[in-house]
Amino acid sequence: MQPIDSVEPYEQSELYKLRHTAAHVMAQAVLELFPEAKLGIGPPVDDGFYYDFDLGEDENGRRRTFTPADLERIERRMRQIIAGKYPLRYRVVTADEARELFKDQPYKLEIIDGLLRGEFNEYGDAEDGPPTDLVISTYRHDTFEDLCKGPHVAHTGLIPVDAFQLMGTAAAYWRGDQSRPMLQRIYGTAFFSKKELKRHLQLVEEAKKRDHRKLGRELEIYIMDEEVGPGLPLWLPNGTILREELEKLAYEMEDAAGYQRVATPHIAKEELYRRSGHLPYFADSMFPPMERDETRYYLKPMNCPFHHKIFAAKPRSYRDLPLRLAEYGMVYRYEQSGELFGLMRVRAAEQNDAHIYCAEEQVEEEFMAVIDLYRRYFDLFGIDRYVMRFSKHDRKGLGVKYADDEAAWLKAEEIVRRVMHQAGVPFEEVAGEAAFYGPKIDVQAWSVVGREFSLATNQVDFVQPARFELTFTNRDGRPETPYCIHRAPLGAHERYIGFLIEHYDGNFPVWLSPEQARVIPITDEHHDYARRVVAQLTEAGIRVHADLGSERMGAKIRAAQLMKVPYMLIVGGQEAAAGTLSVRLRDGEQRNDVPLGEFAAHVQRRIRTRSPEL
Ligand SMILES: [Zn+2]
Ligand SMILES: [Zn+2]
């Protein structure tokens, strides 16, 4: 049953079908133009579709790739196939028929075997166990038939010829495995109208300009260093200010919501992670252990077990609950090198973490308060497009991937569902992506240019408290196991700041801006006054510098604009005499003869209210 206020899953939308069909049409065109090509997989993705191909090697043993001219030819052929209005026909085949059909397609044969063994689906994604009701099916149009369970549009003519486009190519390992062949991926996108495609292409352009890796370097926010290691960002002074401002925000919000702050070490003994269940469930994502004096230690992949120990440090009664323990905690996860991406996917991340221990009857209220917190952050940062993904257990994974207590799963999932309905937040339910200890809510948000980010997760945990033998004395004087809500509304600094860089295009609101104002003297005769302005504004709690270099004023203004400083304060003889400033705002607006004290008060107000305005 679909929840009434849930959003339609993309996988069932018309747009998904359209793009899926476009992927098949592209594969047909490629096979016709490159008959030796071997087919990998070709699913729709969030902003389009792709298909992977193995073009073999050239005479020098190098892997063949597609050229821009190839893409043009493929696109031309696609238009003809679209014009043919070929219907897409579904049929169920036996394993033997499938093997015969794809006998020249080794990757498809591998997928057929994977399907039969229940190891992965037709997109090569891992599955949990042997299939209960395996159906092998294909979709055929014109001369092309693919291993596929759909869905598709009715015929190829439904792809608008002026609203699809091939976007480019990339190398991709077969099934994401670096030990397997490197395939050539062609990305494309498709929409229902030319207008939507045009809008999308504009956003893609804009997103490129805003890429946090590019802006992160230009605005001196963070660097990566080969010798330090991939996925291990170094925060520069400007980035550190961003982190500290976000932490300050979280402290204020959490203080007001009754959290207490704790601090815990970055490593712990193996036993702790055995008890928490991170070993073995999460071992793949952890750094390998270190050993000293016959004891094995691990870098922490999550903060939870430490907080559980703090809960257990003294007897707790129902009067102590809910107990909300918060920490900006550093966690280390061994992400595959192919998955690392700027600040978005790193190996060391500082999480806006907290664990809320509460009695069963408090879970709903506490969970609701967490959802509210999320919404206040979204309001503050002007994030108006977001969806929460509610990941549940699946029965197949019980005892393997998930704690083996279906009744407890259903109960926890029901609580989450009730709260999401009550809160009226957009959400979708997905089976099989929960945490091993309870249902999980991932928050996906879109930046103003439409880039999608997974920003935060939280979980309702009915497993770990029992594993850690956590109890409190209930009203009847008996020991009871608490629930634990894991929450991290600001996710990790790394990803959140990466998101904010792109969301704001580096034009951070005043309270977040690393440098809030820059004083630019017209000539060096005005350096003294510039220094006085800096001293006075610093006193007022404003982050301000003076540019006392030897460049001309125009060059200094351009330099400040490049760093996206909200206020440029031009000072000359007139300003020095009157104790005023010529204020040039980042957006180009100019305000002359502003008394220094008045400007300071204005900026303080902006900072205090965390206003998005200048
Ligand atoms: Zn398909
Ligand atoms: Zn946790």
Task: Report how far ligand 2's centroid is from the alpha carbon of 490 (Å).
Answer: 14
Tell me the pLDDT tens digit for each residue of 452-481: 888 888 899 988 999 999 999 999 999 999
Nearest ligand, CA of residue 139?
Answer: 1
| Encoded tokens for 543 | 């982050």
387 and 409: one domain? yes
pTM of the predicted protein model: 0.82
By residue range, what is the domain housing residue 547?
517-608
533 and 407: one domain? no
Q: Could you tell me whether strands 483-487 and 348-358 are parallel, antiparallel, or unpaired per DSSP bridges? A: antiparallel
In a domain, 210, yes or no: no
- CATH (domain of 434): 3.30.930.10
In a domain, 209, yes or no: no
Looking at residue 220, what is its pLDDT?
98
Tell me the pLDDT tens digit for each residue of 304-339: 999 999 999 999 999 999 999 999 999 999 998 888
152 and 191: one domain? yes
Task: Report how far ligand 1's centroid is from the alpha carbon of 123 (Å).
Answer: 9
| Encoded tokens for 412 | 């926890």
In a domain, 421, yes or no: yes
- CATH (domain of 553): 3.40.50.800
For residue 267, is it left (φ>0), alpha (ψ between -120 and 50) or beta?
beta
Nearest ligand, CA of residue 153?
Answer: 1
Task: Report how far ligand 2's centroid is from the alpha carbon of 13 (Å).
Answer: 34
Nearest ligand, CA of residue 353?
Answer: 2
The vertex-358 CA angle with 381 and 244, nearest 5°, equals 30
In a domain, 316, yes or no: yes
CB count within 10 Å of CB 166 equals 23
Task: Report how far ligand 2's centroid is from the alpha carbon of 124 (Å).
Answer: 30
Tell me the pLDDT tens digit for each residue of 228-240: 999 999 999 999 9
Number of structural domains, the chain? 3
191 and 300: one domain? no
371 and 302: one domain? yes
d(C-alpha 121, C-alpha 107), whole Å: 13
d(C-alpha 78, C-alpha 87), whole Å: 15
Task: Report how far ligand 2's centroid is from the alpha carbon of 301 (Å).
Answer: 10
Ligand 1 ion local residues (Cβ < 5 A): 148
499 and 441: one domain? yes
pLDDT reading at 253 higher than 50: yes
Tell me the pLDDT tens digit for each residue of 147-175: 999 899 999 999 999 999 999 999 999 98
**Local confidence band at 126 (pLDDT 50, 70, 90 cut-offs):** low
Tell me the pLDDT tens digit for each residue of 564-597: 999 999 999 999 999 999 999 999 999 999 999 9
Lowest mean pLDDT among 364-373, 397-406, 599-608: 397-406
**Alpha helices in 181-276, H assignment, sequence order:** 194-209, 212-218, 237-256, 270-276
d(C-alpha 365, C-alpha 90), whole Å: 48
Which residues are part of the catalytic machinery?
304, 333, 351, 353, 355, 440, 486
Average pLDDT (48-75) is: 93
- Half-sphere exposure of residue 165: CA atoms within 13 angstroms, side-chain side: 16
